[in-house]
């Protein structure tokens, strides 16, 4: 792969994948909620919305439907990635 500003593109791809898995874990944790299954707090809701928007935009590179029609699939993909991340590593620290 080509070198870009001293960083191999493969390293960037791996970093992007790691970031995506961390975001999926965060979204799943917010959706799972805490004791009593209360809705996410305002700040967590904003984080979840940002993650979902980013995931929906990413899915748009592979799915040409309008963003509003991809939301359910986006959520399923995100939860699938979170499950993969949990199997891939312990995910306790939110990294790697």
Under the banding of pLDDT at 50, 70 and 90, the label for residue 90 is low
- According to DSSP, residue 68 is labeled G
Q: Is residue 45 part of a domain?
A: yes
Q: Is residue 19 part of a domain?
A: yes
Q: Is residue 68 part of a domain?
A: yes
Number of structural domains in the chain: 1
DSSP output for 36-67:
GGPPPPHHHHHHHHHHHHHHHHHHTTT--S-G
Q: Is residue 16 part of a domain?
A: yes
Q: Is residue 24 part of a domain?
A: yes
Containing structural domain, residue 50: 8-88
Mean pLDDT of all residues in 50-78? 91
Q: Is residue 2 part of a domain?
A: no
Q: Is residue 3 part of a domain?
A: no
- Whether the model clears a pTM of 0.85, i.e. scores above it, the answer is no
Q: How confident is the model over 17-62, as pLDDT tens digits?
A: 888 888 888 888 888 875 555 666 788 888 888 999 999 998 898 8
Q: Is residue 62 part of a domain?
A: yes
């Amino acid at each position: 792969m080509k070198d870009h500003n001293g960083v191999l593109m493969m390293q960037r791809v791996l970093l992007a994948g790691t970031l995506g898995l961390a975001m999926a874990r965060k979204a799943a944790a917010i959706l799972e909620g805490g004791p009593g299954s209360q809705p996410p707090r305002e700040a967590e809701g904003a984080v979840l919305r940002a993650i979902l928007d980013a995931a929906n935009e990413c899915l748009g590179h592979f799915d040409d439907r309008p963003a509003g029609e991809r939301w359910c699939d986006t959520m399923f993909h995100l939860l699938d990635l979170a499950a993969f991340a949990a199997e891939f590593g312990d995910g306790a620290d939110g990294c790697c």
